[in-house]
Amino acid sequence: MSRLSKMRASRDQWKSKAQTRGQGQRDQRKAHARLQARYDQVTETLKATQARVRQLEAQLQGLATRPKVAVVHLALQLFLEARISFRAVSRVLALLASALGIGKAPCPQTIINWVRRLAIVRMDSARAYRGLPLEAAPCTQGCIWIIDISIGLGCGKILTVLALDAPHHHLESGAPTLHHVRCLGVAVAASWDGETIADFLKRLIATLGRPAAYLKDNGSDLHRAAALLEEQGMGSPCIDDISHATASMLKRIYQDHPTFERFLSACGQVSSKLKHTLLACLAPPTVRTKARFMHVHRLLTWAERVLALSPPGGAKSGSM
């Protein structure tokens, strides 16, 4: 047998084996493709069925799945109107998710992002919030700037400036609310004094113009800032917050009064005995030491009610 014949015979054998092996692999690939297509179809059918079941369940309960816009609006209303924390908003929405038709309640960080976006939009819209030109009589037109400093970002202090229409009480029948004010500026610093506050207010005045008046507390730093602006020809009338002014007067009169000290001591003793007991609901309200006279009426109202419920001598010996 010649060499050419041997080569042809070997080639024919290789062709036969390759065709047989290739046919098996092709059949296997086709079968795998059919199974994958069937799996994809079943998966899509399952998702559509589950969505349909949820929709039918919501319809049976008389509810429909709320769009995301409605969920965002509800979360912002809970934070701005109900005045509860971000975690509390998330817990409330998670608790009422099935009743409100919410598929998944947002987490606290999501709610924080929504509030930040709303704050950015409101601050951008406040750039054109200038009010009307000032007249000779102060506070008749224009905007009143509400200034306050609070601890709100770690150890840093937040300086906030809000704007309110000066003739608010001529236009509205009630007290100002969040809907009537606009945020003009927010700044954070480790500490604030009269010079730094005045510099911040000057940057706002350069953009928005001079306000009709400043509404502030009795803080010495804010007094210093207003005086510096007055010296530089950018001053406006200052209005002291009546609650802070009243608290300052009460502090000067009763801070060192022996009767008041005895009253606070009695409140502290009652609080320590009633907390973590069945009578915890009768414990006195918590009042911060720094702003005690801002909320001293809460303690007085509580004491008056408790004394009306339990007159002197009415409790048994040794009872709470």
The residue among 131 and 218 whose pLDDT is bigger is 218
Torsion of CA 173, 179, 184, 186, to 10 degrees: 120
Across residues 277-282, what is the average pLDDT? 84
Query: To which residue do tokens 């930040």 refer?
Result: 116
The pLDDT value given to residue 266:
87
The pLDDT value given to residue 252:
84
Q: How far from the centroid of its chain's Cα atoms is residue 316's Cα?
A: 47
Judge whether residue 162 has pLDDT over 50. Answer: yes
Sheet holding 181-189, edge to edge: 181-189, 156-165, 143-153, 213-216, 238-240
The residue among 226 and 169 whose pLDDT is bigger is 226
Ramachandran bin of 174, using left for φ above 0, alpha for ψ from -120 to 50, beta for the remaining angles: beta
Whether the CB-CB separation of 235 and 214 falls below 8 Å is answered with: no
Q: What is the share, in percent, of the chain residues with pLDDT greater than 70?
A: 88
The pLDDT value given to residue 198:
92
Q: Model's pTM, two decimal places?
A: 0.55
Q: Which of 144, 175, 174 is nearest to 161 (CA)?
A: 144
Reading the block at residue 249, the tokens are 């007067």
Q: Which of 14-18, 35-39, 147-151, 169-173 is predicted least confidently?
A: 14-18
Greatest alpha-carbon span in the chain = 132
CATH 3.30.420.340 matches 135-240: yes
pLDDT band at 110 (very low <50, low <70, confident <90, very high): very high
